[in-house]
Amino acid sequence: MWYHFRFSLDPGEENLIKAFILAGGKGAHLRPLALHIPKPIVPLANIPFLFFQIEQIKKAGITEIILGLSYQPRKITDIFGDGINYGVTMRYTYEDFPRGTAGALKAAENLIDDMTLVLNGDVLTDTDLREVIQFHQGQKADATIVTKRVMNPSGYGLVEAGPDGRVVRFVEKPPEDEVTGDTINAGIYVLERSVLDCVSREGPQSFEREVFPSMLAAGARIYSYTTRSYWQDIGSPQKYLEATFGIISGRMKLPSYPLKSCPPNRWEKRQVQIDAFSILDGGCIIKPGVVIENSVLGENCRIEEGVLIKDSVIWSGTRIRQNARIEQSIIGRQCHIGEGVRLRAGSVLGDKTSVTDYSVL
Ligand code: GTP
């Protein structure tokens, strides 16, 4: 049942590998941020998230990308279109209902070839994907799962492998007291087409919970490639903030987004303090006495006198009135934050939220 094809990633040779990005989830854990904008395109450092993945995929020499869509698909296709502006060929599959991670690939079976690079559309990484594919081919694996060692693995799927990297056990999202290891499924796979034989056409099916464990039980060759590179998912507001800090700190490089028109920001340099780490999109008005540290501001924000913004992300079109203090918080699009408001660590406000003067959250 398990068979193998080999493709070359050498420059100059025809490259038949395509990438499939799972971009159809509801992103419930990222609410309220992913309510009106699907998780795969939430702005990270003011760039639609999937663009980071597209750049990483291109680095591996892959230019044909399929997005598996289900939730708010138009918002995603409106940005990426046929992919030409991004230097890739972009195609889409639409699920009539959310088919789960494995069901989504099955729905794309007419578009994929013999081997596919599959990514969860919510992981930020600079892992060398070409190396992952070469590892997969070297092991003659049916499936290779990129894994990552993390400090706190609870809430993730654990992958246990032998010294040669061959997977021996999966433990899916164990509670804290049942965590048996620190190596998690990083949501990036190289899969042979034969994997689709294990996915039914009916109902939703998940790689993590169903397909990989049943392949393992049937004796398939599943390997783990443990990445030492930067890796962070954006599945919750806290993780989204972590990913933002990964970029601000330079651990993850900020790619240059092709379609940005940047109207100038307006402030008096000597009257504001904006550190070199912070990223401000265009069209912002920053009034005297404002301090911005380690933060990201989307376009057309208006920040009034004496405001402090620290370790936070403010999406576009938001107005923050005088002397407000925002720390370790995320504020959605077109919010109004009143005078003297205090947003303490962990505050997350959805689009168009209005916070009354002097509130403390
Ligand atoms: P939560 O609702 O917060 O659990 O997030 P999610 O819906 O994104 O689910 P999860 O984080 O488990 O999904 C991992 C990746 O698979 C994400 O990139 C999702 O967009 C994607 N995904 C999850 N379910 C589906 C689905 O049914 N169809 C498609 N096409 N993608 C999916």
pLDDT digits 0-9 by tens, 252-285: 998 888 867 778 888 887 899 999 999 999 999 9
Using 50, 70 and 90 to split pLDDT, how confident is the model at 16? low
CB 337 within 8 A of CB 357: no
- What percentage of the chain carries pLDDT values higher than 70? 95
Start-to-end CA distance of the chain, whole Å, equals 57
pLDDT digits 0-9 by tens, 117-161: 999 999 999 999 999 999 999 999 999 999 999 998 888 999 999
Site to substitute for ligand 1 among 37, 120, 184, 209, most atoms within 8 A of C-beta: 120
pTM for the full predicted model: 0.93
Q: Which helix (DSSP H) or strand (DSSP E) does residue 94 occupy?
A: strand 89-94
Residue with the nearest Cα to atom 31 of ligand 1?
A: 24
For ligand 1, say whether the CB of 298 is within 6 Å of any of its atoms: no
**d(C-alpha 168, C-alpha 183), whole Å:** 13
Closest CA relative to residue 185, chosen from 163, 205, 161: 161
User: What type of residue sits at position 133?
Assistant: I
Residue with the nearest Cα to atom 14 of ligand 1?
A: 120
Which are the contacts of 12, defined by CB distance < 8 A and separation ≥ 6? none
CB 234 within 8 A of CB 124: yes
Residue with the nearest Cα to atom 15 of ligand 1?
A: 120
**Helix axis angle, 129-138 relative to 50-59, nearest 10°?**
60
Q: How many CA atoms lie within 13 A of 291 on its CB side?
A: 10
Domains and CATH numbers, the chain: 2-248 (3.90.550.10), 269-355 (2.160.10.10)
For ligand 1, say whether the CB of 95 is within 6 Å of any of its atoms: yes
Tokens 């991004």 label which residue?
A: 86
